[in-house]
Amino acid sequence: MSCDGRVVKALDSKSNGIFPRVIWNGESIIDGAAEALSLLKYRHVQYLHISEEIVSSSTVAAYYLKHKLHVRNKVYVIGGPGIGKELDKIGIQHLGIGADHFEDYHSEERIFDVNLEKDVSAVVVGFDPHISYAKIMKASSYLKNKDCLFVATNEDSYFPSTNPLLVLPG
């Protein structure tokens, strides 16, 4: 939300409204958001800020897997614990969350001994700070099965950062 001329102009003919914008970036309020909220109060514009009604991409992915794709077997996850929690809530078994590294992935003996789980019917990919060659290899191996489904939780190329020089890949 910005407190520039667009907000003022939009408010000229409104006595209430819905402003579908995020006002926080992590722990920091977005520039201009406080001023925009002050302007709403000053103009006596009624607004409602709902902060607890968030549906995450993990929630949607879990719902989609169970209710739309009817996944009943295990799901291999390249992602964080949030995806696992959502899959747990709806009773879908999963594996892959957390670090997964080879001792020596250059060794042919080690690489061909990778243990793949049976009955993996989908691969879900989200943000994973533990992304590794081992995880990509396992996901690719599961997806080699034409019946194994692929679901991505978001398309963010990067996440917002307070450091303009830092790129946080999504």
Domain edges within the chain: 5-42, 57-152
Architecture field, domain 57-152: 3-Layer(aba) Sandwich (3.40)
How high is the mean pLDDT of the chain?
82
Amino acid at 56: S
Average pLDDT over residues 21-40: 75
Q: Is 149 helix (H, G, I), strand (E, B) or coil?
A: strand
Over residues 128-151, the pLDDT tens digits come to 989 988 899 999 999 999 999 999
Query: What pTM, to 2 d.p., does this model score?
Result: 0.70
pLDDT at residue 12 is higher than 80 = no
pLDDT for the residue 106: 64
Average pLDDT over residues 71-83: 95
Confidence of residue 1 (pLDDT cuts 50, 70, 90): very low
Q: Is 151 helix (H, G, I), strand (E, B) or coil?
A: strand
Q: Which of 87, 101, 141, 150 is nearest to 117 (CA)?
A: 141
Question: What share of the chain has pLDDT > 70, as a percent?
Answer: 75
